[in-house]
Amino acid sequence: MLYTKVFYEDREIENERLELTDKGSLYFLGSNVTFRHCTLVLKVSGRNLIFDQGTRFIGCTFEVKQELKNHQDWVFASLRGCRFKGRLSGCDFGLWPGYSEKAGHGSIEDCDFSEARLDGCRIMGCDPSTLSFPKWPCFTILDPIRRAPELRGAKWPGRFGRVTVEDLHTQPAPTRSLTYHAPSIAKRMETTEEELRAVIEKFDCIVY
């Protein structure tokens, strides 16, 4: 398939609504571009959405109309005061220099995920206390690597303990938080969201 290439680079874009929805296009949100107070409507897969180092989003709203899966390019971007709506899974945000040679410019602060559904999404190398996470049925484990021994000490339902919790210490070193969607992970881990919540409620390092 031949894709149409759409480039945004070397400029500042302000107060615009950008529809990134054409599945036949590759959207390059390139180097040295700033989006300020824009609304970006996303309805393509992660492979159609390409960020480069130095892409900046300030006060923008992302309306995710099609679940965005395993999109790590966010770690190339600087996000400040942005809002996310819609479903994202397996996405990483923030500073993760070890991800690639170009990933030393990423950051995230003062962003709002309260209207999003996150599953398997991580905040890397940045302070999650500046962020608003989605409420239950999503839940967010803060400082998962350091708190892993404490979390392993609990009796978790289904396979959640021996798969998800048991492997928390193997997360990349910059991992500062990890958010799951309880109905989705409960199905994968052969348990129920009610059984998960009964254990989650015991920990102050989990927000829900």
Whole-model pTM: value is 0.94
Query: What does the alpha-carbon distance between residue 9 and residue 43 come to, in Å, rounded to a whole number?
Result: 20
Query: What does the alpha-carbon distance between residue 16 and residue 197 come to, in Å, rounded to a whole number?
Result: 41
Q: What's the pLDDT tens digit per position in 27-36? A: 999 888 999 9
- At 48 the pLDDT is 97
- At 101 the pLDDT is 81
Residue-wise pLDDT tens for the chain (208 aa)? 789 999 999 999 999 999 999 999 999 998 889 999 999 999 999 999 999 888 999 999 999 999 999 999 999 999 999 999 999 999 999 999 999 887 888 999 999 999 999 999 999 999 999 999 999 999 999 999 999 999 999 999 999 998 999 999 999 999 999 999 999 999 999 999 999 999 999 999 999 9
